[in-house]
Amino acid sequence: MSMNEASACPRILVVDDEAHLRELLEITLIKMGLDVDSAETLTIARSYLSKRAYALVLTDMRLPDGSGMELVQEVNTLYKSTPIAVITAFGSADNAVVALKAGAFDYVSKPVALDQLRKLVRSALQTNEVQKEQQAAPEKLAAPASSFMIGQSQGMQEVRAQISRLARSMAPVIITGESGSGKELAAREIHTSSARSGKPFIAVNCGAIPETLMEAEFFGYRKGAFTGAADDRDGFFQAASGGTLMLDEVADLPLPMQVKLLRAIQERRVRKVGSTVEEAVDVRIISATHQNLAICVEEGRFRQDLYYRLNVIELHLPPLRERLEDIVELSSNILKKLTGNDVNMSEEAIDALISYDFPGNVRELENILERAVAFANDGCIEVADLVLRGARKSGDQAVMLPAQVDVSQVEERPQVPADHASAVNLFAAPSLPCSLPDYLENVEREMIRRALYQTRNNRTQAAELLGVSFRQLRYQIQKLKIQE
Ligand SMILES: Nc1ncnc2c1ncn2[C@@H]1O[C@H](COP(=O)(O)OP(=O)(O)OP(=O)(O)O)[C@@H](O)[C@H]1O
Ligand SMILES: [Mg+2]
């Protein structure tokens, strides 16, 4: 690791009243090429902090003249650019959560594992480097090109500000928000703006893994652990090593797996299926869900201890209908991505979009525009090219509403064969029995039903068959209320 390349010798402040632990920490840090100051009490630590700048503060929780938590709070308000990590007593995982919530960068638990300590220190120093670079070139930070997330609405600005704060810490984050609101994108952005950006970002859809394979998928397995285990294999934790592991749709985790994950996250160690040894893993956990986890806990579907562990910091993504200002910018970006060109939209079309509810949020906007591009004449999107489904906000005028149709009748229509279903075919239909949105919806419903039937309700295979992502399929199944 080239952690001391940029600044000659980063300085670290160690605050601990146990002399032998302090010594051990000092020696370890000095061997890493760092300068170390050490303090036995909060008072001494404060005096050091007032005189020198530190690349990291490492503090014990229980000190003779107060709690390490006080220092966490002080450093976070008075020395904002200095990361502070805490040393927690064995078995006091709750303390670590409290410290992370208060803004601690990370924690190590006693007895201090030196390899874990070194990783923590490196990570803190790298975060400093990233920050320094960003300060040196602020225009780089401000440029939207470096950010995946588009939108200048108040809501998005807050999301971005929170993301840049979160990028500086190791604390677990839970991202909440409706389907298609950008949870995965936000998780990626936290990862790429953090010191972990050079390491893998792995997103796992917890609802898509068969329960029997879960442990092996997450933790890996040893050769011969079960039939078919021909070789040793790493799991998601090892694959994300040094980086970020996103537990997407975390509410879908079965209870037994929740126990195992909690343990892995708490101990930062995992054991491969079929192995007797544990290995240390260094991953940052970001989870996401469109469900209300607190309710899942109340209903006994989600373990409270895991909830508590993952829910250190919540990042909420506002639904698109609450940030209408973003629609135009999002649309032009999406259209540019789709066509490589600037595509015009008529004012009526823009009005129609702004008046729409977007139950499927940005993903739905993408889908609507993808279709619109296919239907649009002379490179300009008109209201008629927009297929907006059912719902609309009350009081708005500009939205086109699909005609009410008797859906039961539509269902009886001859079905478009799977391999011929294309926009062209739809236009070729002799007469349209209902509005275009309803017709399209029925074709979609039918295709999905067929795919599910052919794959015996295996959603992963069905998605493959349909050429869509698992999430898209799940989203469509929910939206079209398809019974499997
Ligand atoms: N602010 C944004 N700027 C640009 N693109 C966005 C934004 N938010 C979402 N998107 C795009 O919308 C689509 C859906 O986003 P994403 O997959 O992150 O949503 P999600 O909340 O994880 O959805 P789901 O709950 O269905 O998994 C993606 O293609 C993403 O790139
Ligand atoms: Mg997602």
Q: How many domains does the structure of the chain reveal?
A: 4
Same domain, 233 and 284: yes
CB atoms within 10 A of CB 404: 10
Of 289, 318, 347, the domain-final residue: 318
Same domain, 337 and 464: no
Give me the sign of the Cα torsion angle 354, 356, 362, 363. Answer: negative
Same domain, 253 and 325: no
Residue nearest to atom 18 of ligand 1 (CA): 182
Pocket of ligand 1 (CB under 6 A): 149-151, 177, 179-185, 290, 330, 362-363, 366, 471, 475
Same domain, 166 and 288: yes
Ligand 1 atom with the smallest distance to the CA of 181 is 21
Tokens representing residue 218 in the block:
């997450």
Tokens representing residue 213 in the block:
């394979």
Query: Could you give the C-alpha distances from 317 to 313, 314, 320, 354, in angstroms and in order?
Result: 13, 10, 9, 18
Is residue 62 assigned to a domain?
Answer: yes
pLDDT of residue 130: 62
Domain residues for 38?
11-136
Same domain, 363 and 465: no
Of 401, 426, 461, the domain-final residue: 401
For residue 276, the CA-to-ligand 2 centroid distance in Å is: 34
Ligand 1 atom with the smallest distance to the CA of 180 is 23
For residue 331, the CA-to-ligand 1 centroid distance in Å is: 13
Same domain, 163 and 310: yes
Which ligand does the CA of 189 lie closest to? 1
Is residue 68 assigned to a domain?
Answer: yes
Is residue 3 assigned to a domain?
Answer: no
Is residue 1 assigned to a domain?
Answer: no
pLDDT of residue 119: 87
For residue 185, the CA-to-ligand 1 centroid distance in Å is: 6
Is residue 264 assigned to a domain?
Answer: yes
CA distance 244 to 136: 26
Single-letter residue type at 484: E
Using DSSP bridges, classify how beta strands 11-15 and 62-63 pair: parallel, antiparallel or unpaired: unpaired
Contact predicate 1/24, CB 8 Å: no
Of 383, 401, 419, the domain-final residue: 401
Helix/strand/coil for 452: helix
Contact predicate 316/182, CB 8 Å: no
Same domain, 34 and 116: yes
Is residue 145 assigned to a domain?
Answer: no
pLDDT of residue 375: 79
Same domain, 200 and 330: no
For residue 183, the CA-to-ligand 1 centroid distance in Å is: 6
Same domain, 346 and 422: no
Tokens representing residue 266 in the block:
């708490």
Give me the sign of the Cα torsion angle 313, 318, 323, 327. Answer: positive
* DSSP state for residue 243 in the 8-state scheme: S
Same domain, 286 and 202: yes
pLDDT of residue 432: 53
Which ligand does the CA of 150 lie closest to? 1
| Pocket perturbation via mutation, ligand 1, pick of 178, 181, 252 by most ligand atoms within 8 A of CB | 181
Cα 144 versus chain centre, distance: 19
Is residue 4 assigned to a domain?
Answer: no
| Pocket perturbation via mutation, ligand 1, pick of 160, 184, 473 by most ligand atoms within 8 A of CB | 184
CATH of the domain at 119: 3.40.50.2300
Q: What does each of the 484 residues of the chain score in pLDDT, given as a tens digit?
A: 444 444 468 999 999 999 999 999 999 999 999 999 999 999 999 999 999 999 999 999 999 999 999 999 999 888 888 999 999 876 666 778 888 888 888 888 888 888 889 988 988 887 766 666 655 654 444 333 346 899 999 999 999 988 988 888 888 999 999 999 999 999 999 999 888 888 899 999 998 888 988 999 999 999 998 888 889 999 999 999 999 999 999 999 999 999 999 999 988 899 999 999 999 999 999 999 999 999 999 999 999 999 999 988 899 999 999 999 999 999 999 998 888 887 889 999 999 999 999 999 999 999 999 988 887 877 789 988 888 876 444 433 333 333 333 333 333 333 333 333 333 333 333 455 567 777 788 788 888 988 888 888 889 889 998 988 888 888 888 888 887 7
For residue 471, the CA-to-ligand 2 centroid distance in Å is: 7
CATH of the domain at 408: 1.10.10.60
Is residue 455 assigned to a domain?
Answer: yes
CA distance 72 to 15: 12
CATH of the domain at 190: 3.40.50.300
CA distance 454 to 461: 9
CATH of the domain at 385: 1.10.8.60
Same domain, 171 and 286: yes
Residue nearest to atom 23 of ligand 1 (CA): 180
Same domain, 82 and 229: no
